[in-house]
């Protein structure tokens, strides 16, 4: 089954392809549509991510892409939250957009390392992830819970020398228990990577079971 991942982020696309490879799914990204004749000239409307949390934004994006393409499509969204910041200053779903500007990977590292420096060199952070999969008008599946949430870690002011394109903040992320940068840990991700990937895989497995 071919399912569109509503993203142009190649790193995220490849990650989800790896997670779902045992399920027999063909996950493609928005850039792949140009190789499909009936979608090659598709023009997508501007999607306003006005949700109050990652799940609301994931739903907005997935429905918008489905309404144009009429094919199974899913979108993900992430919110970044700091223990030391008041609610009004939380990045939340606007991790990459600061003061109305879309940041590049390097600009994100510069901005968030500066933020950590203002708080003594580190912030206690956590990511909340959400996913929405639209199979058809009546079959919409969502998930946002602990099984796909990255547990608390430190966001620090000194970046690691390795920066993975599409995942810039991993170079500032340090595991609380070991004191190691995410980049120095297995798979360049947090220790709960396997739990999160299983959470996403189980989501798709459950959807396929229910939908079939």
For residue 190, the model assigns a pLDDT of 45
Nearest to 16 by CA among 93, 96, 94, 74: 74
Three-state secondary structure call for residue 154: strand
d(CA 46, CA 58): 15
Nearest to 116 by CA among 79, 91, 149: 91
For residue 129, the model assigns a pLDDT of 95
Please list the pLDDT of the chain residue by residue as tens digits (212 residues): 999 999 999 999 999 999 999 999 999 999 999 999 998 888 887 898 889 899 999 999 999 999 999 999 999 999 999 998 887 779 999 899 888 899 999 999 999 999 999 999 999 999 999 999 999 999 999 999 999 998 899 999 999 999 989 889 999 999 998 999 988 886 444 446 777 899 999 999 999 999 97
pTM over the 0.75 mark: yes
CATH of 2-211 among 3.40.50.150, 3.30.420.40, 3.90.950.10, 2.120.10.30:
3.90.950.10
């Amino acid at each position: 089954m071919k399912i569109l991942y509503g993203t142009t982020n190649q790193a995220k696309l490849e990650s989800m392809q790896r997670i779902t490879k045992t399920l027999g799914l063909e996950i493609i990204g928005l850039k792949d549509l140009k190789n499909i004749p009936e979608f090659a000239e598709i023009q997508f409307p501007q999607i306003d991510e006005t949700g109050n949390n990652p799940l609301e934004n994931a739903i907005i994006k997935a429905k918008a892409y489905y309404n144009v393409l009429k094919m199974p499509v899913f979108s993900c969204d992430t919110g970044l939250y700091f223990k030391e910041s008041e609610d009004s200053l939380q990045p939340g779903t606007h991790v990459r957009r600061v003061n109305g500007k879309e940041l590049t990977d390097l600009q994100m590292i510069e901005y968030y390392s500066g933020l950590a420096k203002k708080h003594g060199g580190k912030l206690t952070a956590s990511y909340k992830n959400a996913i929405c999969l639209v199979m058809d008008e009546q079959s919409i599946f969502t998930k946002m819970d602990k099984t796909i949430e990255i547990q608390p870690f430190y966001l620090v002011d000194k970046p690691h020398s390795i920066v993975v394109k599409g995942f810039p903040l991993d170079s500032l992320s340090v595991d609380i228990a070991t004191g190691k940068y995410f980049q120095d840990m297995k798979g360049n991700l947090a220790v709960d990577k396997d739990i999160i990937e299983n959470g996403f895989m189980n989501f798709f497995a459950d959807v396929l079971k229910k939908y079939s």
